[in-house]
Amino acid sequence: MSRIVKCAHIQMSNAQSEGTVAQIKEAMIQKHIPMVIEAGEKGVNILCLQEIFHGPYFCCEQDIKWYTAAEKVPGPITERFSEYAKKYKMVIILPVYEVTIDGVYYNTAAVIDANGEYLGKFRKVQIPHTWPGFWEKFYFKPGNLGFPVFETEYAKIGIYICYDRHFPECARILALNGAQILFNPSATTTGKSQYLWELEQPAQAVANGVFIGANNRVGLEKPWEFGEFYGSSYFVDPKGQFLVKGSADKDEIVVADLDLEMIREVRDGWQFFRDRRPEMYGDICKHLP
């Protein structure tokens, strides 16, 4: 018997490049709202927005002005979007820039349940600082909340953000803790990592017997234009098969129906979790090399 969960990503280009940080932030929020409403009207059950959805990917420069884009979680953004979650009975994953105390910032994803209640948050664990233009250690402290699984109205979900996808331990921990659908909101450009975009996560879906949704923004962002975000947001099933894939250059809602019964079918066939030998994997926890 099928257990269908309709899931979606919003992939979007930046709304505004000039003005104050507050104006740039608000423009991007306003650009998202009609698409959130559209997703709700389409009957989407779980909606995921892109990494730090409320602005450009500012990590391609190092400027303290962007610290002012951060806010408390829960806070103003979660309160605003909880109204849409409740109205459309739609779980919303909100990747935002979080401040805890003055000078301490995280790359965070908040989860709003279908009744509008704030369920909790995930903080990006692995923080890159690589050329060209991913100077994230200037902006984010590594996450300290582990890998929580959120029991929403429709499914148990887990989140890891962008660079976390290169570390298979993230997906494995979430799957072992009961997550059925993993979401990876991202901001990644053509070049260095694009060949991995459709390679790593289908393989992780197979290895863990879960659905995975990967989300990426689109377009060149002024004034930097350091690389083009190539969209191509997608969902894959526990066999690693693509259910849907977005365009490379268009603002859009990418929707897929996920049949949760497939998880048991795939796991009963492969039995990877039965045949694990965690007592033999101690070296992976050592500080090597």
Which residue in 134, 150, 111, 127 sits closest to 58, CA to CA? 134
Distance between first and last Cα of the chain: 48
* Structural domain contains residue 287: no
What distance in Å separates the CA atoms of residue 35 and residue 37, rounded to the nearest whole number? 5
Give the count of domains, the chain.
1
Q: Is the peptide bond before 223 cis (omega within 30 degrees of 0)?
A: yes
* Structural domain contains residue 281: no
* Structural domain contains residue 238: yes
Residue type for position 84: Y
Question: Buried (b) or exposed (e) across 126-155, using 16+ Cβ within 10 A?
Answer: bbbeeeeebbbebbbbebeeebbbbebebb
- Taking CB atoms within 8 Å and a gap of at least 24, the contacts of 176-179 are 176/273, 177/147, 177/149, 178/149, 179/149, 179/210
Domain of residue 32 covers: 4-272
In contact, 16 and 61? CB cutoff 8 Å: no
Residues in the chain: 289
* Structural domain contains residue 277: no
Phi, psi of 76 (to 5 degrees): -55, -45
Crossing angle of helices 168-176 and 200-208, in 10° steps, is 30
Which residue in 141, 140, 142, 160 sits closest to 150, CA to CA? 160
Domain of 138: which CATH number? 3.60.110.10
pLDDT at residue number 288: 67
pLDDT at residue number 289: 66
Is 114 exposed, middle or buried, given 0-12, 13-18 or 19+ CB atoms closer than 10 A?
Answer: middle
The H or E element that residue 97 is part of is strand 91-99
Catalytic residues: 51, 124, 162
* Tokens (6 digits) for 275: 């045949």
In contact, 16 and 42? CB cutoff 8 Å: no
Which residue in 210, 187, 212 sits closest to 198, CA to CA? 212
Non-local CB neighbours of 31 within 8 Å, separated by 6+ positions? 12, 15
The H or E element that residue 205 is part of is helix 200-208
* Structural domain contains residue 143: yes
Q: What sign has the CA pseudo-torsion 159, 253, 260, 272?
A: negative
Residue 284 CA, distance from chain mean position = 26
Count of CB atoms situated within 10 Å of the CB of 180: 23
* Structural domain contains residue 33: yes
pLDDT at residue number 1: 63
Per-residue pLDDT of the chain (289 residues; tens, 9 = 90+): 679 999 999 999 999 999 999 999 999 999 999 999 999 999 999 999 999 999 999 999 999 999 999 999 999 999 999 999 999 999 999 999 999 999 999 999 999 999 999 999 999 999 999 877 899 999 999 999 999 999 999 999 999 999 999 999 999 999 999 999 999 999 999 987 899 999 999 999 999 999 999 999 999 999 998 889 999 999 999 999 999 999 999 999 999 999 999 999 999 999 999 999 999 999 888 876 6
